[in-house]
Amino acid sequence: MTTIGMPQAWALLPEIVKKGGVSQTPPVTVAVLDTGFVNSPELAGRVVNGYDFVHDPVRSGDGDGRDTDASGVGQLAYHGEVVANIIAAAHDGRGMAGINPTARIVQVRVAGTDGLIDPQDLADGLLWAAGLAVPGVPANPNPAKVLNLSLFADFIPLTGCDARIQNAVSAVNAKGALIVVGAANDGADASGYSPAGCRNVLTVTSATQQGTRPDYANWGRSVAIAAPGGETGHGVPVSSLSGPGGERSPNGTSMAAPHVAGVASLLLSARPRLTPTQLRALLTRTATPFPGGRCDPAPARTCGSGTLNAAAAVREALASSLGK
């Protein structure tokens, strides 16, 4: 958290960030499209069991297809939990401190027990998370202003944004919700991935504490910004109650994206009317430049405008008349 200036950002927002996540500010809802719902005490009444969009009963692991129970199933259930905790874990001393301890999390299950994501499941999950209609699915009573996607769609070629997902992204963007996406972990050009290569998303790759790109992290023109994602053998400390281990130190752009989503939700707590376009511009404009102006010696392996700087983003948001 210190790498991105969180203590300074929290100090600028004392009326929003209180010990234990107690605040008079209405909570910003963040949807986590991932492996599903875990009732984490770190989120203490602020996590909602949303909807299970995994249509394939073989891959769902819960005996059926889509249903109203988004609970995570299997050994990968922790993934959605740790992403949510990075965004919003309470500051109560029980575990980690999340970026925005007042945010509400809606867990939307799109990944099967195998960790794979069907493109249509993801497209429908995107629409539902933002409060848009999906045929045959009940309306979302908790539409999100920020959507975190620490994932990419499987079962399709990695040659560009899938049309189904792009259509959903465009609809969500028009609804006024920001989509934050992990760039993926293949050390490749992120533009071939869905949704990392889609238009109107904020694609996030990983950066080390020194502001360089870890070997695993995807790169390229579709990447807008970098954030802490850990290095091989030295991950991001997080807490998880699901599955074995409890405390974990995973690495990957899956961990980088929720840092950005959490800061975006913090900005919306201070400036509720910021649009997705304004949020993307604010976060990228205030990023800390990479040492020497680049994250990687190879010119093509770019990582966006720099590393997330929460303090600078909050400071500029408070100084601006935008989003009041």
Question: Would you please indicate which residues are annotated as catalytic (active-site) residues?
Answer: 34, 79, 254
What pairing do the DSSP bridges indicate for beta strands 47-52 and 104-109?
parallel
With beta carbons less than 8 A apart as the criterion, state whether 113 and 150 touch.
no
With beta carbons less than 8 A apart as the criterion, state whether 32 and 84 touch.
yes
> Mind giving me the DSSP string for 164-209?
HHHHHHHHHHHHT-EEEEE--SSSSBGGGSTTTTSTT-EEEEEE-T
Sign of the alpha-carbon torsion through 160, 164, 168, 174 = positive
With beta carbons less than 8 A apart as the criterion, state whether 151 and 108 touch.
no
With beta carbons less than 8 A apart as the criterion, state whether 71 and 2 touch.
no
